[in-house]
Structure 1
């Protein structure tokens, strides 16, 4: 039997209003009946956790542990968690939300029928979500502090609903460029290294300069595998970068941005310089 939780918002509070099963089984499902009763009371209390029996949820992982970065195209991510029940796990569900309560100013449901749970008493359950920036990220402020709500059902009718089991940010995609001149350059002469740091503005769907941000200028000697940091430069009021260094040996220059809680970390490409 497959049981799926659907979500609605009633007068600003989270209420898991229905748990549906196939028609021949929905009316006599003890877990569905209990869930309806518990979630109704739960909504009035402000969407705290609800549990019936020994079902548990733990180890929530978003996007495989990697940062979630969005530009303008749809972004698909997966959310996984460990679901535990002595009888095994029958089904699972989850949704993502933003605001003080679910669906205050952001809600993303799992892709239909994407929930997959393994075998045994503590399987990993995985669900797929599609972030649509034009809709889910209509304001730049919507990138930070998303939450995950998760639900798991045991084969014996037990269940748990976890409210805000984990939070995460959706980072704004960024671009970084570099250009070192002149090329070639005489040994001991001055190189001017310029570049620009830009990030997506979801409200305009265009990239714009990311201002007053620390960016590292790095150098990799020809034949070497790693970069070393030469200095830190801040972007100007338009997101541009400019600094100078002395040319010593052949190698690659790049800029490196560590990222923030709103914007992804990014490295520029390498600009190879021939020193003569």
Structure 2
């Protein structure tokens, strides 16, 4: 992951950037003085799912207001669960009105950065908080410490669902298999995600809706295996709801006919 520091001033209006990794203080409640406020803070996505090779981008747009005008919006940092700081690799600020300032920050999340210390690590998966301060000309201010956040998760995969035998006689047993893996940011490979509950779902032929038949727990290698009774023709699939650190994923289904 690119972890950078921006030049001081009205949030690096010059675009000067330097590479750096830092430790952040523990998140605290927002603090403010006077009538300065952030009127809006938006994220381009609520969750950034990152694999082991391709970088993923996030854009944050924040607008602050004060009756005396905003002198600058400083920081624009994202703080990881293990207290590392990600600075934006691009930042621009404008003044839509005499009393407001709008800043746009762009971040890049990468588990395979050329700089080893800048890579994403597994401990950084979870909730990241935006840290920024709007300072007004009359010395009022508003500091975002923990109220705005985004999820950065390890990307998960499910292999294509396999149901056999195909076709199957009505009332006979089907064996359904699959495997759940997720990105290991420390080693840049996908590894079996163990002890996870995964839903086995079925969609009857002619229907557009899947229903959960049972939940199955992955084994020590992330593999899934269970048996069901084939009462109708249709499609079987695995569906993982995700966790606080790992993305949800739905497998490609396997259609099984009756004979």
Tell whether the structures are fold-level matches, with TM greater than 0.5: yes
Gaps of 5+ in 1: 1-5, 9-16, 23-42
Aligned length: 237
In the alignment, the residues of structure 1 paired with residue 171 and residue 11 of structure 2 have an alpha-carbon distance, to the nearest angstrom, of: 75
In the alignment, the residues of structure 2 paired with residue 62 and residue 242 of structure 1 have an alpha-carbon distance, to the nearest angstrom, of: 39
Aligned to 1:250: 233
Select the structure that is richer in helix.
1
Q: Is the 8 A contact 1:147 1:164 kept in 2?
A: yes
- The alignment status of 1:68 with 2:48, answered yes or no, reads yes
The residue correspondences of 1:4-153 to structure 2 (distance < 5 A) are: 18-19=8-9, 51=32, 53-57=34-38, 60-64=41-45, 66-72=46-52, 73-87=54-68, 89=70, 92-93=73-74, 94-98=76-80, 106-115=84-93, 118-119=96-97, 125-134=103-112, 135-153=117-135
In the alignment, the residues of structure 2 paired with residue 245 and residue 54 of structure 1 have an alpha-carbon distance, to the nearest angstrom, of: 63
In the alignment, the residues of structure 2 paired with residue 108 and residue 56 of structure 1 have an alpha-carbon distance, to the nearest angstrom, of: 23
Give the stretch that moved more between structures: 71-80 or 148-157. 148-157
- Summarize the Cα distance change of 1:145–1:179 in structure 2 as closer, same or farther, 3 Å threshold: same
Please, what is the CA RMSD of the aligned residues? 3.5
1:112-162 deviations in Å (ceiling 9; x for gaps): 334467558577654221122235454311213422101234577754333
- Summarize the Cα distance change of 1:99–1:258 in structure 2 as closer, same or farther, 3 Å threshold: closer
Of 234, 248, 255, the residue aligned with 1:272 is 255
Aligned to 1:221: 204
Aligned to 1:32: none
Greater RCO (Cα-Cα under 8 Å, separation 6 or more): 2
Give the stretch that moved more between structures: 117-126 or 183-192. 117-126
Kindly state the Cα deviation for residue 260 of structure 1 after the two structures are TM-superposed: 0.8
Query: Which has the higher Rg, Structure 1 or Structure 2?
Result: 1
In the alignment, the residues of structure 2 paired with residue 159 and residue 189 of structure 1 have an alpha-carbon distance, to the nearest angstrom, of: 69
Of 238, 243, 250, the residue aligned with 1:260 is 243
- The alignment status of 1:208 with 2:191, answered yes or no, reads yes
Kindly state the Cα deviation for residue 243 of structure 1 after the two structures are TM-superposed: 0.6
Q: Is the 8 A contact 2:73 2:134 kept in 1?
A: yes
TM (norm. structure 1) is 0.72
Aligned to 2:152: 170
Gaps of 5+ in 2: 13-23
- The alignment status of 1:234 with 2:217, answered yes or no, reads yes
In the alignment, the residues of structure 1 paired with residue 214 and residue 11 of structure 2 have an alpha-carbon distance, to the nearest angstrom, of: 61
- Summarize the Cα distance change of 1:62–1:137 in structure 2 as closer, same or farther, 3 Å threshold: farther
- Summarize the Cα distance change of 1:181–1:160 in structure 2 as closer, same or farther, 3 Å threshold: same
SS of alignment partner, residue 141 of structure 1:
helix
Q: Is the 8 A contact 1:196 1:235 kept in 2?
A: yes
SS of alignment partner, residue 146 of structure 2:
strand
Kindly state the Cα deviation for residue 190 of structure 1 after the two structures are TM-superposed: 1.2
Q: Is the 8 A contact 1:173 1:263 kept in 2?
A: yes
Q: Is the 8 A contact 2:34 2:141 kept in 1?
A: yes
